[in-house]
């Protein structure tokens, strides 16, 4: 199948960047026309490109992405940027709601001397995260529950891209996300803050003195996220990256 044919089918399906996607699909399929047809059919039917390819680029790291697993967004690179600031050798970093493990993998790539943990309640996510953190510390369970208790009070940085879409707004998301990513990775409850609130409430038990909790959120929710941090005894600060359209609220402990 020619590049023009692939591009035409993608464009007819409404893919805005049809030419770029065609190049990626052709490159991934190589000389296997059956695989190309299978991938193209999946993409045309609405599967996220990253799930079709099986990978996504995230802050310079190639991240394995499996069907049914949250696809890392480029805006979340701001979370990594803040996480690696000032990390010393042996510093413990925990990524909760890790999804594919993209944040944890990017932190480890930039700070290989850090001790990085990743956890998620969805086993599909942690299986994927293990691919992205070979030999790493990946655990399955609700928020901090699966972590070893000896980490309590020793964590330098906690990162959390917890779901923050209000329940009623999930139906308004693009079909790629709404239909092919787990609801638990998108739905943040009635106000979008329910999972964030649990992360924030539990984080002080795990943070070392001077440690930082970093929570991705939306521009509209940032002040409420900061308010939750203040109520938990964390010194909150809102960080905005316009280039990535990213908002992260940090909360320092002690």
pLDDT tens for 16-45 read 899 999 999 999 998 889 999 999 999 998
Query: Which pLDDT value is given to residue 85?
Result: 92
Q: What is the pLDDT of residue 3?
A: 85
Predicted pLDDT at 156: 98
pLDDT at 124: 95
pLDDT in the model for residue 134: 92
State the pLDDT at residue 160.
98
Per-residue pLDDT, 127: 96
Transcribe 75-142 into DSSP letters.
Answer: GGHHHHHHHTTTPPTT-EEEEES-TTTHHHHHHHHH-TTSEEEEEES-HHHHHHHHHHSTTSEEEESS
Alpha-carbon gap, residue 89 to 92, rounded angstroms = 9
Intervals of the chain under pLDDT 50: none
pLDDT of residue 212: 98
């Amino acid at each position: 199948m020619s590049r023009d044919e692939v591009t035409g089918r993608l464009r007819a399906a409404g893919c805005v960047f049809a030419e770029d996607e065609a190049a990626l699909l052709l490159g991934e399929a190589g000389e296997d026309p059956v695989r190309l047809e299978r991938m193209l059919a999946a993409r045309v039917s609405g599967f996220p490109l990253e799930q079709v390819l099986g990978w996504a680029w995230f802050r310079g790291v190639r991240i394995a992405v499996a069907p049914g697993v949250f696809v890392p967004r480029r805006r979340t690179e701001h979370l990594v940027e803040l996480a690696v600031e000032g990390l010393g050798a042996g510093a413990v970093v925990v990524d909760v709601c890790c999804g594919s493990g993209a944040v944890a993998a990017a932190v480890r790539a930039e700070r290989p001397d850090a001790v990085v943990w990743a956890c998620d309640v969805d086993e599909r996510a942690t299986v994927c995260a293990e691919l992205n953190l070979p030999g790493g510390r990946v655990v399955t369970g609700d928020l901090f529950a699966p972590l070893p208790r000896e980490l309590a009070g020793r964590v330098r940085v906690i990162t959390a891209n917890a779901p923050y879409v209000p329940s009623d707004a999930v139906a308004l998301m693009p079909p790629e996300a709404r239909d092919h990513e787990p609801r638990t990775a998108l739905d943040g409850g009635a106000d979008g803050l329910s999972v964030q609130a649990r992360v924030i409430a539990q984080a002080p038990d795990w943070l070392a003195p001077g440690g930082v909790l970093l929570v991705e959120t939306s521009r509209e929710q940032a002040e409420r996220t900061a308010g939750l941090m203040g109520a938990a005894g964390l010194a909150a600060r809102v960080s905005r990256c316009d280039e990535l359209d990213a908002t992260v609220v940090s909360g320092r402990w002690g």
